Amino acid sequence: MKVTLVYPPSQELNLKGYPLGLAYLSASLKRKHRVFIYDYNGCKLRDSLSSFFSSIKQTKPDVVGVSFNSFNRWGAYKIIKGIKKISKDIIIVLGGVHPSTMYGQMFEYFSDYIDFIIQSDGEEPFYKLCNALESGQEYKNISGLVYKDGNDGFKANPVTEKVVDLDELAMPDYSYASGRIKESGFAYLITSRGCPVNCSFCSTSSFWGQNIRMNSPQRVGEEVDYVKSLGAKRFFFYDDTFNLGIERTIKLSEILKAKDIEYAISCRVRPVNEEMIAKLAESGCKHITWGVESLSEKMLQAIEKKITREDVKNAFDICAKYSDRMSTGAFFCVGVPGETEETIKESVDYLNKNIKSTHGPGASMLYILPGTKIYRQMTNNKEFDEKIWVSTDSVYYYTKEHNISTLNRWRKAINNSGIRLPFNYKYFWDYAAVERKEKTGALRMGLRKNFKKIARFINMLRNRY
């Protein structure tokens, strides 16, 4: 069969990287099928749709797999509608966090445009589905498959099969990203699936589950070699938690050191010790972003982060010893239910007295996202209208307790807090910035800049809950 995989564009154009899921799906499908890949991450919506539909008319695929999340769902909706206008015979399969979590709504509002949805891991279920469709065999027992079941209804199979050993998966197919990797020298990889905790604001556990699965350090080394052959010099590892155990992290760092690369990671502040940080710094790790979210004891308990303020201080204190070669930052989130002026002040005060980092915290306002505990609580209490996912293109901030102005003020207060360490080398993420050369006049550039400011303001107003 001819299978097309597509990652839709979104309204946000300044997105880094490329969707890793397409690489894993392609590698699995290519065992038997012909695959075409279209990655529109960070691309303009209208231009992307026009190009994609032209390609569909030319290649005439049998199946189109659309992978998306809540942020680029609007592009996905336009894609599935456009495909069925071209040919109703093309089978559409959805995957990714948003359709996996909201499959009931997808079939309720888009039943005429979609045929299947695959929950969680997609490599084997998608492969088995394509094989069944090609041979005319039964497909209704495939793990995690959601499909039409007559009388405008649908059936969702439970997720009964997951890839336990990630090393058994075929080497990801990054052919669709090879041009971008060669041009930028920058690559994105992932070494694990899942997270050891289930924070109330995060959808990771609802999608991957809390049964963490990891590539072996040796397999990670093989993937690094492969992507280096495409021109990569610097890497970002997309793992929710890179430091899944001190022993594994040390082994990974030893293997990565031999690869002579530079890389950045995201970690939890526990488990951490001196040896682990030293090994990371020696192996080419140039940046660590620590998942902190808050330094209010009340809020850490509320979001079920399962860390303490002392854990945070310990991680940053150790990293401070290596600030001559490795930068540090932190993820924070403001506006979680129960947040107050007092809890923000508690975080700011602790940052200013105890946390030394090169780039300080980066705070965001809480989004209401499907699959999170907060989302389930709000929908169960009828405090959130789920129709927003099909009636607007926005992703909503949590403003039930505080307005956007207050949340933004809190965000800035966190960002301006903390003790800054001297920093005398180029920041890792500066290498990932792709400069766009505009061939437009100064007047047009000024108008465009003002238009973007207005658009952001309008979107902020629309994001009010």
Angle between helix 309-320 and helix 341-354 axes, rounded to 10 deg: 30
User: Which pTM does this prediction carry?
Assistant: 0.91
pLDDT band at 313 (very low <50, low <70, confident <90, very high): very high
Element (H, E) at 405: helix 404-415
Q: Exposed, middle or buried: residue 326 (CB in 10 Å: 0-12, 13-18, 19+)?
A: buried
**Cis omega (within 30 of 0) for bond into 196:** no
Convert the pLDDT of each residue in 425-456 to its tens digit: 889 988 876 433 333 344 444 544 444 444 44
SS3 state at 363: strand
HSE-up of residue 73 (Cα within 13 Å, Cβ side): 24
Query: Domains in the chain, please, with CATH?
Result: 2-156 (3.40.50.280), 174-432 (3.80.30.20)
In DSSP notation, 182-207 reads HHH-EEEE--EE--SS--TT--HHHH
Query: Per-residue pLDDT averaged across 71-76, rounded?
Result: 95
Q: Residue 141, Cβ neighbours under 10 Å: how many? A: 10
Q: Outline where DSSP puts E strands in 174-326.
A: 186-189, 192-193, 213-214, 234-237, 262-268, 285-293
Question: In this predicted model, what pLDDT tens digit does every residue of 231-261 receive, in sequence order?
Answer: 999 999 999 999 999 999 999 999 999 999 9
CA distance 199 to 329: 20
* 7 strand-pairing partners: 39
User: Which among 352, 462, 332, 339 is positioned nearest to 406, based on CA atoms?
Assistant: 339
Compute φ and ψ for 14, nearest 5 degrees: -95, 45
Exposure class string for 94-109: b at 16+ Cβ within 10 A, else e: bbbbbbbbbbebbbeb
Mean pLDDT of 24-52: 96
> What is the 8-class DSSP label of residue 431?
G
- Percent of the chain at pLDDT above 70? 91
CB atoms near residue 146 (< 10 Å): 24
Distance CA 320, CA 384 (A): 43
pLDDT in tens, 253-273: 999 999 999 999 999 999 999
pLDDT (tens digit per residue) in 153-188: 899 999 998 899 999 999 999 999 999 999 999 999
- Please report which helix (H) or strand (E) contains residue 447, including its range: helix 442-462
Residue for token digits 């004891």? 297
User: What average pLDDT does this structure show over 284-312?
Assistant: 97
Q: How is residue 320 written in tokens?
A: 């401070």
What pLDDT is stored for residue 14 in this prediction? 55
What pLDDT does 249 receive? 98
